[in-house]
Amino acid sequence: MAELGYVGLGVMGGGVVRRLLAAGHTVTVWNRTRAKAEPLLELGARWADSPREVAERSAFVFTMVTNTEAVNAVTEGFDGILAGLGPGKIYVDMSTASPANTRELAQRVAESGAAMLDAPVSGSVITLEQGKLSIMVGGDEAAFERVLPILEAIGPRVFHVGPNGAAVTMKIAINLSLAVQMLAFSEGVLLAEKSGIDREKAVEVMLASVIASPMIGYRGPFVLQQPDEAWFDCRMMQKDMNLALELGHRLDVPLPTTAATNELLTAANGMGIGHRDFAALFDVLAAMAGVSNEVSA
């Protein structure tokens, strides 16, 4: 069992730590708000007073934070992860952040004698709890082989996709499809509802049809009732959509459905529902269609 460190204990990060603890690993944790760490400390996790201390006490250091700016906030400075790294250590960033920033950070990690991997996950709270997450990894193959058994305790499908930045690019490519699928599903539900079919019946039938991807299977019911705590809110999804559009512009890849969906995420923020799961795309479209959506309010 390895000495692990984990920074960032949101819905997904906290769930990952639970799986690592269940696998028998020693995990030292830090989060901006300690309250989120308390349930994990009760399960045996150890608290550190800074990201630097997490890195100093761990052979493998993981982060899963909100965005590029948050990655930089926990890695840089006197109390940052970079200051606590050293030869032989491996830093694994599971955040969805800028690929360019990831590559630059990997170079700085290498200067300390450590190695960095980007390893974002694909899945939800449910797939994490079920042990069905898939994980994409970018970076040095030797470092990947060292961390592979740990990653397999988080999710059974782990893919090495290339050098640093490749995995987070793959994650962005996947996430743009999540939002586009959710918008298309919402269009179908509203078309059925406004033609006279009960919304619950429309959702039931669509979830039994060929369009029911795994994501639509667990998120489609959110058009009937949003979860108490957003799994992945509109602002987080828009961050990923903007990363995708930025890559598309740089690589000359047109992303028309991504751009259109992104505008409706902007509308969700303008309507004051950006804190909801990105299934709130349905609420935006319902408002545009003149359909009441008190059920998911």
d(CA 64, CA 70): 9
DSSP state of 129: H
Q: What is the pLDDT of residue 229?
A: 84
CA distances from 282 to 54, 179, 267, 292 (A): 41, 11, 11, 11
Overall pTM > 0.85: yes
Contact criterion met (CB below 8 Å) for 137 and 118: yes
Q: What is the pLDDT of residue 297?
A: 41
3-state secondary structure of 223: helix
In the chain, what is the greatest distance between 2 CA atoms, to the nearest angstrom? Answer: 65
Q: What is the pLDDT of residue 295?
A: 43
Structural domains present in the chain: 3-163 (3.40.50.720), 169-296 (1.10.1040.10)
Q: What is the pLDDT of residue 1?
A: 67
Residue in 171, 194, 201, 239 annotated catalytic:
171
Single-letter amino acid, residue 131: G
Identify the H or E element spanning 240: helix 234-251
What are the residue ranges in the chain where pLDDT is below 50? 295-297
3-state secondary structure of 6: strand
pLDDT tens-place string over residues 32-43: 999 999 999 999
Axis crossing angle, helix 11-22 with helix 141-154, rounded to the nearest 10: 90
Whether 171 is catalytic is yes
